[in-house]
């Protein structure tokens, strides 16, 4: 029989269990409550149960403060003479499962899929019961310094951009029943390596790929079987390959690995370097000339590695990361393939090639959408800042990573594992180091990175090695020397400290990869973030703070704001200025060893006041356009333009950055000052592929307010421009 799937999503029954008595026996309860025992039994009464939607968080369905609850579903099924598996795609946090009164097992964590074999238990009418325990780990209303996490919810529970009053809980992923014949394909992994690489300027040139396909099989009875596979391109003309192997299988679980060669293959690229070529892999199990199971997946072939520092190479070509931190929605059950595609279209619209899921594992549809869109993924492990330094947390983290890898290993877009988001010193030297060693043993196809960091820039920072996320500079240098850590820094001049231009004062070594920078802004007052957001006077700072705003810093940067509308306008303008300045400054550092930047952050994951450039409903803020302009793969920047508002120094140079894999030939630069006649364009040397150059401003700039347009042309009428409005140049 071919695999059949019965979706179990929809309306279930639900019963809160705040006292955690549902699993107890009558003898464990006082006689007054003995009748409430054993909610897992099929004949337990349901008069006290209510309806709930699966998938969906119970915190969004009328139970915001509940920690323990029970789900129940009655469903019809035919008895199974093969293998039947009950599959869960996401439960937060501890799940215990019963079918027809039989206990199936338990699962810990919220980002791994898990399943149970139930073929021997299926009858005509079945009762599925799931007990979910979702205790709090740390409080969203307490200060983060000193909070030691023991669970792996990441940004879904405690983060500056989420709802401090909310936490995930319940069955938030789909549930389904899958039935197959005597042999079930539980999973397939494809590991492949290009034998040769195409030239950087011809990324679609066919190459040979060698690899192996590993199928995890569950076998119900001893049979003679044949495994057949076919690997074929999706949506483009290229060679396919197929093969088969006969085998004798005994009952139990086994792995079967098949080697393959794919001649004339095309590789997977990010959208700005080439085409994200994908292949469909089909695996079938045949017994006695009948298909007993079939599994299909999508993958792509590529090679990633690091040269010096964060010089990331995709198929041998330098890939400069233009990225953004991302958490789609606090309620992951609300995300669909269509919503993810829309978000990634907005990322590409902002000229971003890297998505950085911030301390969260998104739904499978996100990674599939990144594969198709040509967006590389820098994947955080789901823990933010400090965790408990105990060994039990390390053991749990290893299990969580294995579950993540099993889920995501076939996605070519996922290139980097990051195992710490501003961890403490103690966490880096134990948890992060352990995860990196384990990941490098299990997954050679990706980069395993210890952590990104918050280097201390202030004497007021708490530098305790356990309770704080700040590191001394000396610690960072020690981690580089001792563990081979590659600099990956967060910086917030113009928001948390100093002026926007103070980014130039930071050490050169901090710009190898910058994975956070930004400033807060308010959404437009008509959005739900301010509950209608009337233009009140005085500004309702307590309301804004409850939505994630940092009132002291907003008042510092906008001392003259007297109304909500003034604060909205001023904060969006300031955020756009900060992001543009920092993005241009960091990208100009490409000529001196910089390799990427991630905006903090892409979107709001709830109706918030935050660092996002898209509001919760995905309305762009002013900063979105600023980021789009600054992140053009080819762009020309006016050096040090910001300083001329405060000094007599005039810009004398421009920097041209080329993130594409082709040389920009016949390049010409024109500088147009509004109101003045242009002297025409000057010819530039060829701009190197994956590089850049500096050039003198071809006309002297004069003091005074003005609008300056830089126009770069190259090749066959290709062009890009960048406009600077100088408002306060000294005379």
- DSSP letters of 402-439? HHHHHHHTT-TTEEEEE--BS--HHHIIIIIHHHHHHH
Residue 55, preceding bond cis, omega within 30 degrees?
yes
Give the helix/strand (H/E) hosting 557: helix 551-557
- Distance, in Å, from the CA atom of 730 to the CA atom of 337, rounded to the nearest integer, reads 52
Closest CA to 528 of 609, 603, 602: 609
| Confidence (pLDDT) at 705 | 82
- Distance, in Å, from the CA atom of 359 to the CA atom of 380, rounded to the nearest integer, reads 5
Q: Tell me which of 473-482, 602-611, 664-673, 691-700 is least confident.
A: 691-700
Mean pLDDT, the chain, rounded, equals: 93
| Confidence (pLDDT) at 552 | 97
Q: What is the mean pLDDT of residues 550-567?
A: 95
DSSP output for 449-487 = E--BBEE--STTS---TTT--EE-HHHHHHHHHHH-PPP
Count CA atoms closer than 13 A to 547's CA, side-chain side. 28
Could you give phi then psi for residue 321, rounded to 5 degrees?
-80, 115
| Confidence (pLDDT) at 700 | 74
Cα dihedral 492, 447, 410, 387 sign? negative
Q: Six-digit token pair at 612?
A: 């996002």
Report the DSSP beta bridge partners of residue 611: none
Tens of pLDDT, residue by residue over 574-595, are: 999 999 999 999 999 999 999 9
What is the pLDDT confidence band of residue 645, given thresholds at 50, 70 and 90? low
Q: Is pLDDT at 38 greater than 90 in this prediction?
A: yes
Using alpha carbons, list the distances in angstroms from residue 680 to 297, 326, 652.
55, 43, 17
What is the pLDDT confidence band of residue 81, given thresholds at 50, 70 and 90? confident
The pLDDT > 90 percentage for the chain reads: 85
Task: Label residue 385 left, alpha or beta by phi (over 0 means left) and psi (-120 to 50 means alpha).
Answer: left
| Confidence (pLDDT) at 459 | 84
* Farthest CA pair distance, the chain: 95
Q: Is pLDDT at 410 greater than 80 in this prediction?
A: yes
Instruction: Indicate the SS3 state at residue 633.
Output: coil
Q: Is pLDDT at 529 greater than 50 in this prediction?
A: no
Closest CA to 629 of 721, 559, 561, 711: 721
The strand ranges marked E within 266-338 are: 279-287, 290-299, 304-306, 312-314, 317-318, 321-326
Tens of pLDDT, residue by residue over 272-306, are: 999 999 999 999 999 999 999 999 999 999 999 99
Residue 392, preceding bond cis, omega within 30 degrees?
no
Residue with tokens 């009140």: 536
Closest CA to 519 of 564, 470, 580: 580
Q: Tell me which of 139-148, 211-220, 612-621 is least confident.
A: 139-148
Q: Are strands 94-99 and 102-108 parallel, antiparallel or unpaired?
A: antiparallel
CATH T-level topology, domain 181-299: Immunoglobulin-like (2.60.40)
CATH T-level topology, domain 638-726: Immunoglobulin-like (2.60.40)
pTM: 0.95
Tens of pLDDT, residue by residue over 238-268, are: 999 999 999 998 999 999 999 999 999 999 9
The CATH number corresponding to 321-519+593-632 among 3.40.50.300, 3.20.20.80, 3.60.15.10, 3.10.620.30 equals 3.20.20.80
| Confidence (pLDDT) at 66 | 96
| Confidence (pLDDT) at 646 | 52
| Confidence (pLDDT) at 533 | 52
Contact indicator for 377, 416 with CB cutoff of 8 Å: yes
Tens of pLDDT, residue by residue over 657-703, are: 999 999 999 999 999 988 887 778 899 999 999 999 999 887 777 77
| Confidence (pLDDT) at 616 | 96
Q: Is pLDDT at 489 greater than 90 in this prediction?
A: yes
Q: Is pLDDT at 44 greater than 80 in this prediction?
A: yes
Q: Is pLDDT at 121 greater than 60 in this prediction?
A: yes
- Distance, in Å, from the CA atom of 648 to the CA atom of 467, rounded to the nearest integer, reads 46
Residues 6+ apart with CB under 8 A from 263: 206, 208, 239, 241
| b (16+ CB within 10 A) / e for 15-54 | bbbeeeebbbeeeeeeeeeeebbbbbebebeeeebeebbb
| Confidence (pLDDT) at 443 | 97
| Confidence (pLDDT) at 699 | 74
More confident residue, 430 or 458: 430
- Distance, in Å, from the CA atom of 336 to the CA atom of 368, rounded to the nearest integer, reads 11
Contact indicator for 374, 271 with CB cutoff of 8 Å: yes
- CATH no. of 4-178: 2.60.120.260
Domain locations along the chain: 4-178, 181-299, 321-519+593-632, 638-726
| Confidence (pLDDT) at 536 | 64
| Confidence (pLDDT) at 284 | 96
Contact indicator for 320, 358 with CB cutoff of 8 Å: no
Report the DSSP beta bridge partners of residue 281: 231, 297
Same fold, 181-299 and 321-519+593-632: no
Closest CA to 332 of 172, 216, 475, 179: 172
| Confidence (pLDDT) at 534 | 61
Residue with tokens 């290139």: 415
Q: Is pLDDT at 730 greater than 60 in this prediction?
A: no
| Confidence (pLDDT) at 648 | 55
Count CA atoms closer than 13 A to 541's CA, side-chain side. 10
| Confidence (pLDDT) at 643 | 57
Cα angle for residues 455, 456, 457 (degrees, 5° grid)? 115
Burial (Cβ within 10 Å: 0-12, 13-18, ≥19) of residue 250: exposed
What is the pLDDT confidence band of residue 234, given thresholds at 50, 70 and 90? very high
Contact indicator for 123, 77 with CB cutoff of 8 Å: yes
Q: What is the mean pLDDT of residues 467-490?
A: 95
| Confidence (pLDDT) at 525 | 59
Sheet holding 290-299, edge to edge: 241-249, 223-233, 279-287, 290-299
| Confidence (pLDDT) at 460 | 85
Using alpha carbons, list the distances in angstroms from residue 147 to 133, 467, 640, 725.
21, 7, 41, 45
390 CA to centre of own chain: 27
Q: Six-digit token pair at 155?
A: 């940004």
| Confidence (pLDDT) at 486 | 97
Q: Is pLDDT at 528 greater than 50 in this prediction?
A: no
What is the pLDDT confidence band of residue 531, given thresholds at 50, 70 and 90? low
What is the pLDDT confidence band of residue 526, given thresholds at 50, 70 and 90? very low
Residues 6+ apart with CB under 8 A from 502: 493, 494
More confident residue, 537 or 493: 493
Tens of pLDDT, residue by residue over 183-228, are: 999 999 999 999 999 998 899 999 999 999 999 999 999 999 999 9
As separate numbers, helices (DSSP H) first and strands (DSSP E) second, the chain gives 10, 39
Q: What is the mean pLDDT of residues 611-629?
A: 98
Q: What is the mean pLDDT of residues 9-17?
A: 98
Q: Is pLDDT at 647 greater than 80 in this prediction?
A: no
Q: Six-digit token pair at 118?
A: 């139930």
| Confidence (pLDDT) at 551 | 97
Instruction: Indicate the SS3 state at residue 207.
Output: strand
């Amino acid at each position: 029989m071919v695999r059949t799937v019965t979706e179990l999503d929809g309306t279930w029954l639900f019963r809160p269990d705040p006292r955690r008595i549902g699993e107890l026996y009558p003898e464990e309860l006082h006689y007054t409550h003995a009748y409430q025992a054993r909610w897992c039994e099929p004949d337990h009464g349901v008069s006290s149960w209510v309806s709930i939607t699966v998938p969906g968080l119970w915190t969004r369905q009328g139970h915001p403060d509940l920690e323990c609850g029970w789900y129940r579903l009655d469903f019809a099924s035919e008895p199974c003479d093969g293998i039947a598996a009950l599959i869960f795609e996401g439960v937060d946090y501890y799940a215990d499962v019963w079918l027809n009164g039989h206990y199936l097992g338990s699962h810990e964590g919220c980002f791994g899929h898990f399943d149970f074999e139930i073929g021997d238990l299926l009858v005509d009418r079945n009762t599925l019961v799931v007990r979910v325990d979702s205790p709090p780990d740390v409080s969203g209303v307490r200060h983060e310094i000193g909070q030691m996490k023991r669970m792996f919810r990441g940004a879904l529970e405690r983060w500056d951009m989420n709802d401090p009053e909310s936490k995930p809980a319940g069955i938030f992923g789909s549930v389904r029943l899958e039935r197959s014949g005597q042999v079930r394909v539980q999973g397939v992994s494809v590991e492949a390596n290009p034998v040769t690489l195409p030239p950087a300027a011809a990324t679609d040139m066919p190459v040979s790929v060698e690899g192996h396909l590993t199928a995890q099989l569950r076998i119900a009875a001893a049979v003679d079987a044949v495994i057949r596979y076919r690997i074929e391109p999706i949506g483009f003309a290229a060679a396919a390959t197929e093969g088969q192997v006969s085998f004798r299988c005994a009952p139990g679980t086994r792995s079967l690995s098949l080697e393959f060669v794919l001649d004339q293959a095309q590789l997977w690229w990010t959208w700005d370097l080439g085409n994200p070529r994908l292949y469909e892999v089909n695996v079938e199990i045949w017994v006695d000339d009948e298909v007993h199971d079939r599994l299909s997946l999508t993958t792509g072939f590529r090679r990633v590695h690091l040269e010096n520092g964060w010089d990331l190479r995709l198929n041998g070509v330098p890939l400069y990361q233009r990225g953004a931190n991302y958490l789609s929605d606090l309620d992951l059950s609300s995300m669909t393939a269509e919503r993810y595609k829309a978000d990634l279209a907005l990322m590409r619209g902002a000229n971003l090639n890297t998505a950085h899921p911030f301390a969260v594992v998104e739904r499978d549809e996100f990674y599939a959408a990144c594969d198709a869109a040509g967006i590389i993924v820098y994947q955080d492990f789901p823990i933010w800042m400090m965790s408990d330094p105990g060994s039990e947390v390390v053991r749990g983290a290893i299990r969580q990573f294995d579950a993540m890898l099993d889920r995501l290993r076939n996605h070519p877009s996922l290139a980097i594992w990051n195992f710490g988001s501003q961890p403490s010193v103690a966490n880096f030297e134990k948890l992060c180091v352990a995860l990196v060693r384990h990941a490098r043993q299990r997954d050679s196809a990706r980069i395993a990175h210890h952590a990104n960091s918050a280097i201390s820039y202030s004497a007021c920072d708490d530098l305790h090695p356990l309770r704080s996320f700040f590191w001394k500079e000396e610690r960072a240098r020690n981690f580089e020397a001792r563990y081979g850590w590659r600099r990956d820094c967060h910086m917030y001049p113009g928001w948390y400290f100093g002026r926007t231009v103070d980014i130039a004062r930071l050490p050169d070594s901090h710009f190898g990869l910058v994975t956070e920078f930004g400033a807060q802004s308010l959404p437009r007052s008509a959005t739900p973030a301010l509950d209608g957001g009337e233009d009140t006077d005085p500004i309702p700072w307590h309301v804004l703070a409850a939505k994630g705003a940092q009132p002291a810093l907003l008042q510092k940067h906008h001392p003259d704001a007297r109304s909500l509308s003034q604060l909205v306008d001023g904060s969006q303008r300031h955020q756009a200025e900060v992001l543009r300045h920092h993005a241009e400054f960091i990208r100009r550092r490409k000529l001196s060893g910089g390799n990427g930047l991630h905006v903090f952050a892409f979107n709001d994951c709830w109706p918030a006041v935050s660092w996002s450039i898209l509001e919760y409903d995905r309305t762009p803020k002013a900063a979105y356009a600023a980021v789009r302009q600054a992140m053009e793969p080819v762009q020309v920047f006016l050096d040090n333009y910001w300083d001329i508002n405060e000094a007599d120094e005039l810009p004398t140079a421009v920097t041209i950055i080329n993130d594409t894999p082709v040389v920009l030939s016949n390049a010409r630069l024109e500088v147009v000052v509004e109101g003045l006649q242009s002297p025409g364009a000057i010819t530039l040397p060829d701009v190197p592929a994956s590089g850049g150059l500096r050039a003198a401003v071809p006309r002297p700039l004069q003091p005074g307010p003005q609008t300056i347009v830089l126009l770069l042309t190259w090749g066959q009428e290709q062009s890009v421009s960048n406009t600077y409005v100088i408002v306060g140049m000294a005379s």
